[in-house]
């Protein structure tokens, strides 16, 4: 590894802590967000990534299933949700979901990422039946389903406790929960971007309960709208505190705000500079999270590649069809990943274009299944089988 060159010497005490394996404080997080020396911040994050993961990056072959876009929450950050009778509103019949899922399995999918709107009329049983049906038809596929916001909503409409809601989900076949809906925990921000959504504290408590009953989950942070640096660091520190207690979070995913077609469309899009900084700062502050994802759908494949040198060790999945970000103006093609999915080839996902791994495309899935520590342990939140890619 090359030596660290600091052009911003105020980073020196933080660098010393990182190199000594010490936990960073709230104020360090602020410094990392404010430092003009992004390359040094990235170097430090990459140091941690290499220590944790060496030359291995993860991705899986997955499909997104969004059962409905009808949503009562009306979050200002969102371009996906619709009123029931609005143009473009949809709710899939279960048979349609099963057909799409089975098509995904034929194409190699090992995980379904399932999230949707808070529908005013669909009962909790619709979602449980969907999970049972998917498990029965696609038994080998990891079901990563329902954010903490949906869990909370299900508990309300079914008039049962959060614990009971989570237990029923698990019993039906949910293997883990995705990290969406966290946004920024601070109430000032939530009042502006998602005032009808559960509070940050409720999101955190629900995640804790999920972990306690044996459902691992991911966590996200939506940045690049009205939040301050203090509010981002507060969000990360709160996640770190819960993780200290439960160890139930598997991956953290910083999500860049896409303003198009939302009531916040006046807010400029994030820059590559901000995207890379959020990857790096989260890698540095979240010392008890194994995995940081660069969600290429949102970052673009090019920034996601660079993010692998700024602390990220996971590219999420092949996805193929994505709705939430594309409704909000994401420019990655909706079929961008499909070509990769039919012929999984880790070299196409390498960050540098000069990957040293020797997996042939046809052997890559099998090799990955045996090499991936994600897929081996009980805390799988992505997929049963993941592809490991050496990338430098």
Q: Which of 68, 262, 278, 305 binds ligand V47 (CB under 6 A)?
A: 262
Residues 62, 144: Cα–Cα separation, whole Å: 10
Q: How far is the CB of 162 from ligand V47 (least distance, A)?
A: 18
Residue span 121-150 as binding mask against ligand V47, x where in contact by CB under 6 A, dash where not = --------------------------x---
Q: Residue from 29, 178, 254, 346 that binds ligand V47 (CB under 6 A)?
A: 178
Q: How far is the CB of 223 from ligand V47 (least distance, A)?
A: 9
Contacts 24+ apart (CB under 8 A), 8-13: 8/35, 8/36, 8/37, 8/40, 10/35, 11/35, 11/37, 11/40, 11/41, 11/44
Question: Count of residues binding ligand V47 (CB under 6 A)?
Answer: 21
The pair of structure tokens assigned to 340 is 């990769």
The kind and range of the H/E element at 106 are helix 94-106
Interface of this chain with ligand V47, residues 320 to 379, rule: CB under 6 A? 324, 328
Considering the rule CB under 6 A, would residue 77 count as an interface residue with ligand V47? yes
Q: What is the DSSP annotation of 113-165?
A: EE-----SS--HHHHHHHHHHHHHHSTTSEEEE--HHHHHHHHHHHT--HHHH
Closest CA to 215 of 66, 60, 380, 384: 380
Q: Which of 66, 220, 282, 318 binds ligand V47 (CB under 6 A)?
A: 220
**Of 18 and 319, which has the nearer Cβ to ligand V47?**
319
> Nearer Cβ to ligand V47, position 162 or 219?
219
Q: Is 316 in the site for ligand V47 (CB under 6 A)?
A: yes
Say whether residue 222 binds ligand V47 (CB under 6 A): yes
Is 180 a residue that touches ligand V47 (CB under 6 A)?
A: yes
| Cβ at position 101, least distance to ligand V47 in Å | 18
Question: How far, in Å, CA of 293 to CA of 381, rounded?
Answer: 12
**Residue 64 CB, nearest approach to ligand V47 (Å):** 9
Of the candidates 190, 330, 195, the one whose C-alpha atom is nearest the C-alpha of residue 258 is 330
Q: Could you say whether residue 179 binds ligand V47 (CB under 6 A)?
A: yes
Asked whether position 67 contacts ligand V47 by CB under 6 A, the answer is no
Order of strands, edge to edge, in the sheet holding 314-317? 314-317, 56-60, 387-390
Which residue bears the tokens 């060790």?
313
- Residues binding ligand V47 (CB under 6 A): 77-79, 147, 178-181, 183, 218, 220, 222, 253, 255, 257-258, 262, 295, 316, 324, 328
């Amino acid at each position: 590894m090359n030596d660290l060159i600091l052009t911003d010497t105020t980073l020196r005490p933080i660098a010393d802590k990182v190199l000594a394996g010490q936990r960073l404080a709230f104020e360090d997080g602020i410094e990392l967000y404010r430092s003009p020396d992004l390359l040094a911040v990235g170097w430090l994050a990459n140091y941690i990534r290499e220590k944790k993961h060496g030359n291995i990056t993860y991705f899986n072959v997955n499909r997104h299933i969004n059962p409905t876009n009808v949503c009562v929450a009306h979050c200002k950050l969102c371009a996906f949700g619709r009123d029931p009778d609005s143009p473009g509103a949809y709710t899939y019949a279960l048979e349609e979901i099963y057909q799409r899922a089975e098509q995904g399995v034929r194409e190699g999918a090992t995980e379904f990422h399932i999230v949707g709107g808070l529908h005013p009329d669909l009962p909790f049983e619709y979602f449980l039946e969907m999970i049972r049906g998917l498990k029965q038809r696609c038994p080998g596929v990891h079901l990563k389903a329902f954010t903490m916001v949906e869990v909370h909503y299900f508990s309300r409409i079914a008039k049962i406790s959060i614990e009971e809601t989570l237990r029923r989900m698990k019993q039906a076949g949910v293997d883990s929960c995705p990290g969406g809906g966290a946004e920024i925990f601070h109430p000032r921000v939530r009042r502006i971007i998602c005032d009808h959504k559960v509070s940050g504290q409720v999101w955190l408590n629900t995640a804790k309960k999920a972990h306690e009953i044996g459902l691992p989950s991911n966590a996200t942070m939506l940045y690049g709208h009205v939040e301050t640096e203090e509010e981002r660091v507060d969000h990360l520190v709160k996640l770190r505190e819960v993780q200290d207690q439960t160890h139930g979070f598997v991956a953290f995913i910083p999500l860049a705000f896409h303003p198009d077609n939302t009531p916040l469309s006046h807010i400029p899009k994030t820059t590559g500079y901000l995207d890379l900084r959020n990857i790096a700062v989260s890698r540095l502050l979240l010392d008890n999270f194994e995995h940081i994802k660069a969600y290429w759908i949102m970052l673009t494949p090019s920034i996601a590649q660079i993010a692998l040198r700024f602390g990220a060790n996971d590219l999420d999945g092949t996805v193929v069809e994505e709705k939430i970000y594309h409704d909000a103006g994401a420019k990655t093609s909706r079929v961008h990943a499909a070509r990769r999915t039919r012929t999984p080839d880790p070299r196409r996902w390498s960050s540098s274009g000069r990957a040293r791994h020797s997996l042939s495309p046809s052997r890559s899935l099998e090799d990955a299944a045996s090499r991936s520590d994600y897929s081996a342990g009980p805390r799988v939140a992505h997929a049963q089988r993941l592809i490991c890619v050496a990338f430098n």
